[in-house]
Structure 1
Amino acid sequence: MRHLTAVSASLVGAFALTACTTTDPYTGQTVRNNTGTGALAGALGGAALGYLTNTNKSAEGRRNAMIGAGVGALAGAAAGSYMDRQQAELRRQLEGTGVDVNRQGDNIVLNMPGDVTFGVDQADIQSRFFPVLDNVARTINAYPQTMVDVIGHADSTGAADYNQRLSERRAGSVAAYLVNRGVMPDRLFVEGRGINQPIASNATPEGRAQNRRVEIILRPLT
């Protein structure tokens, strides 16, 4: 079963008021710092973020929120071309980082292995991975007609309910970091899927390492 928890507007508002800010050296914009990001992730109590500010837990609810914020939808072949440009930029920025950039139709899937992103049995993002997520966030911000799914996964080692919660916490940490870097919360959907969607065999250490991951799925707003 998938576990989703929507964050109330009051929680998001409280984070916005209490988080410290810093200046992005690339854009000059004022953004929330990593301490604030950690506070948001901790305030969630280990639950996935769900649709951060949408009470309607549907793709349509997210589209409506984005359109209501003045983001125009893409039509026809424009969506494919738009995602082509975004994919090319992400491939340039993420080359050599350990993050796979894959295309599935008009969607782009960024596969972030757990051994690159997190310590063993941890949900705090390793500091050496911050620049990678900074690049991802800048690209997402440059392509405002993109919806963003952040999905956590785990291997089958240990209890399934524990791995479910760990996958949620890891997805929440990545999503909170993106919000900290200026990504509009209405664009995000966050979920932990535990052990339910392996991409390799859990019978080998190599396969389990592949299954411990966070995926960012980028979808065009159509």
Structure 2
Amino acid sequence: MRHPLLIIAVAALVGLAGCTTIDPYTREDKISASTTGAAIGAAAGALVGNLTTRRDRTKRAMIGAGIGALAGAAVGNYMDRQEQELRRELDGTGVSVTRVGDNVVLNMPGNVTFDVNRDEVKSQFYDVLNSVAKVAQEFDQTALEVAGHTDSTGSVEYNMDLSERRARSVARYLQSQGVSPVRLDTIGFGPHRPVADNHTPEGRAQNRRVELTFIPLTQ
């Protein structure tokens, strides 16, 4: 069965078929750039809009598993210490560590983590994920959201599926290293959340990535 978010994204793009204009030179139907952008934006919006629900569900599962929530000023201090430890463990690995509010985001480049068009984590990357798992177990009052991303090459459906499979592979490895499954959630964004220009090889390389977000469990 297809992932429901994949269905939403593909449906938004399929909807372009009825939104065409006539090319003044070829006299053929074509999809306008503005319509394409609107549909892609709608698909991305559906994916992003689902995140709050998913995160709330993960947090409820963690509380149900007996993991205590952080409160007040303790949140910032807790994430400061976790960020510092992640930076120390991942220095020189090619994985970037970024603080976004109270969350900490790890950017794992696709060429470092996976072979082309494959969803198995490279064995050379195990040590990096072992370090991530070590910090995750030390700071167990955080949820871990694993998000796969691709460039725009190929079909949307293929990229959505590949991004989800890669996210699941990273999550499974972390679980095998002792991270509780109730803390882990996976999502595939395919090409819908680029961080660089997909028209250049360098930009496409940046867009092929897995992001792991540490989210504090708050009251």
Alpha-carbon deviation of 1:76? 0.9
Q: Give distance in 2, aligned partners of 1:58 and 1:157.
A: 28
Of 91, 105, 109, the residue aligned with 2:105 is 109
Aligned counterpart, 1:139 = 135
Which entry has the higher C-alpha Rg, 1 or 2?
2
The higher-RCO structure (CA 8 Å, 6+ apart) is 1
> Which secondary structure state, in structure 1, belongs to the residue aligned with residue 115 of structure 2?
coil
Paired-residue identity, % = 56
The C-alpha deviation readout for 1:101-133, integer Å capped at 9, x for no partner, is 000000000000001100111111111000000
TM-score when scaled to structure 1?
0.74
Alpha-carbon deviation of 1:64? 2.2
Q: Answer whether contact 2:6 2:157 (CA < 8 A) is retained.
A: no
> Which secondary structure state, in structure 2, belongs to the residue aligned with residue 120 of structure 1?
coil
Q: Give distance in 1, aligned partners of 2:85 and 2:161.
A: 33
Aligned counterpart, 2:5 = 2
Higher normalized helix content (fraction of residues): 2
Aligned counterpart, 2:41 = none
Alignment RMSD (CA, Å): 1.4
Q: Which runs of 5+ in 2 are unaligned?
A: 8-52
Q: Which runs of 5+ in 1 are unaligned?
A: 5-56
> Which secondary structure state, in structure 2, belongs to the residue aligned with residue 192 of structure 1?
strand
Q: Answer whether contact 1:124 1:173 (CA < 8 A) is retained.
A: yes
Aligned counterpart, 2:197 = 201
> Which secondary structure state, in structure 2, belongs to the residue aligned with residue 193 of structure 1?
strand
Aligned length: 170
Alpha-carbon deviation of 1:69? 1.7
> Which secondary structure state, in structure 2, belongs to the residue aligned with residue 96 of structure 1?
coil
Q: Give distance in 1, aligned partners of 2:88 and 2:106.
A: 13
TM-score when scaled to structure 2?
0.75
Alpha-carbon deviation of 1:58? 3.7
Q: Answer whether contact 1:150 1:215 (CA < 8 A) is retained.
A: yes
Of 86, 89, 102, the residue aligned with 2:85 is 89
Q: Give distance in 1, aligned partners of 2:59 and 2:172.
A: 20
Q: Give distance in 1, aligned partners of 2:93 and 2:214.
A: 18
Map 1:129-168 to 2 at 5 A. 129-168=125-164
